[in-house]
Each structure stands twice: as C-alpha cells, then as structure tokens.
Structure 1
Amino acid sequence: MEKYEELLVAIRQIIRAIDLRSKKLSKAVGITGPQLLVLQEVSALLGLTSKQVSDSINLSQATVTSILDRLESKELLVRKRDSEDRRKVSLYLTDLGVETLKDAPRAMEDTFIEKFENIEPWEQTLLLSSVQRVASMMNAGELDAAPILNLGEIHAPKD
C-alpha cells in the first residue's frame, strides 16, 4: 500500500470514529456534537450572549445562532432580553437542558486530550504540524471549525 493510501485510510478511520461518536450522542440525548458544545458553554457561565459563545467556541455568529435556534426549539435553552439594555439577549439552560448535559456521554475530546497531554511536547508539536498540513492539503484550512470531534449540524443555513 502506498504511503498516501495509508494516510487516506487513517483519515477515513478518524472520520468514521467521529461519525460513530456523533451517532451515539444523538441516540443518547438527541443532540449533535456542536449543540452539546454550545450547551456546555452556556452552562459554564450564566447569561452569556450568542457573541460570547461564538467567540469562545470558535464558530461564526451565524452558525451559533442556527444552533441556538435548534436548542431553543428543543426547549433546552432560553433567550432572555436584558431589562436594562433591550439589545442584549442572554442565554440560559432550561431544566431539560441541564438534564441533557448530565445524560450526555463523555466527549471524545476528553479521552483524546488525556492521551495527547501524556505524549512528549515535541511529539505534540509534530502531530499538530502534520495535521495542520493535511488540513491545508485538503483545502480545509479556512473552514468554520470548533475544537470538537463531532459531525452534525455545524454550518449555518444557506440563504
């Protein structure tokens, strides 16, 4: 097998692992990975705005707004307009949102981070550089991406 074929197989294995994890999350609690990430952010600090969530998880404002719309329709969070500054809208989890977070399976990123942190710093740098190069070779360097390993509704709806 050629080296490029081995690399493509490894990439496909990563994609498959992410897909399986995403399906497990959806089956367990009925949300996608990006939705879970947004719920976790809203849970971490009460009263965040969508802009703060967007900045924190490195997704565009439009993408986060789309995810928030879905979470609100599932009654997992609510948007509340500030009584003093009506332009400001803060985000809060509902009781169902809190329960959903509690019931969600452990994130794939958690185990990845544990393993990554246990390798030598030079190897961490080598892995980062190599994967960034692969992303660049696949013309994926400019795509909207968050630090999560789940597939699902991560893009904003097209106009």
Structure 2
Amino acid sequence: MSQFLPTLRALVRTYQAFDNFSERHIKSLGLTTGQFDVIATLGNTAGMSCGEIGEKTLMVKGTLTGVLDRLEVKGMIVRVENPKDKRSTLIKLTELGEKTFNTTFQPHLEYLSQVFGQLSDKELQEIEIQLNKLQQLF
C-alpha cells in the first residue's frame, strides 16, 4: 500500500518546485500568481463569468472573489452585465488589463520554456499522458 509514497512525494516536490520557480517570475512582473492566472485566462477573450474563470484557473470562489476585487481596484478588470444572461456578470479585461496580458503572458511562457525546453517533445508527451492517467484515477 505504501509503495506509492515515493511517487506522491516526487509529485508534491515537483509541484512545489514549479510553483516557486513560476511565482518568482510572476512577482517580478508585479502580479500575484492568482492575478496572473486570471489575466492569462481572460486574455484574448470577450470576457467570462466567475464560474468559467474559476473552472479554468482552479480557484475556489472565495479566493477568486478576492483576486477579482484586487484586479478591479488596479483597473485591470471590469465587471459588466452579461448580455446573454442578466442574472450573471461577465469579467472583462480593461485596456490596462489587456496591456498587462500582452506584456506578461508571452514573457512568462518564455521563462517557463527555460525548463520545459530541456525536455524533448516525446518526454513532454509521456509526462502529460502519465499525469492525465493519474488525474483520471482520482
């Protein structure tokens, strides 16, 4: 039963190492990880509901609300009435939010490619397959 513990430790340590590496760069861009996730999710879209953003960023509602509130104060997002459903609100990037997306998203991908670029396409595909398999088991 405990044969999976070394794998579990490796998975957690890998996630922590990734999170620390990624967060360091995001902070240098003047954002928190949550703010970057929301801006990256909303970039190149006409806006999304809070539920859609939550699904894509994997943030729980309480955390997402706080991130959205702070982005709104910074002038990066705006909440607007959803024209398709008057009961819901759309979250959209403002001009400043779009500019932030355009100046942070690609540089962050390039930063991450320092690590992921060391793996072959085959290795990346194998890792993705195994991670998806593990996800499906849960």
Task: Give your verdict on TM over 0.5.
Answer: yes
Q: With structure 2 as the length reference, what TM-score do the two structures score?
A: 0.65
Flag the structure with higher helix content.
2
Corresponding residue of 2:45: 45
> In structure 1, what residue type is equivalent to 2:92?
Y
Q: Superposition pairs for residues 1-159 of structure 1, below 5 Å?
A: 15-16=16-17, 18-28=19-29, 30-82=30-82, 85-104=85-104, 105-107=107-109, 108=112, 112=116, 115=119, 117-119=121-123, 124-126=128-130, 128=131
Q: Percent identity?
A: 22
Partners of 2:84 and 2:128 lie apart in 1 by 47
Q: Give the Cα separation in 2 of the matches to 1:14 and 1:120.
A: 15
Question: How far apart are residue 115 of structure 1 and its match?
Answer: 3.4
Residue 49 of structure 1 deviates from its aligned partner by 0.7
Cα separation, 1, equivalents of 2:127 and 2:50: 36
Q: Distance in 2 between matches of 1:55 and 1:48?
A: 11
Deviation at 1:123, TM superposition (A): 5.5
SS for the counterpart of 1:106 is helix
Larger relative CO (CA 8 A, sep 6+): 1 or 2?
Answer: 1
Q: Which runs of 5+ in 2 are unaligned?
A: none
- Specify the code of the residue in structure 1 equivalent to 2:16: I
Give the paired residue count.
Answer: 127
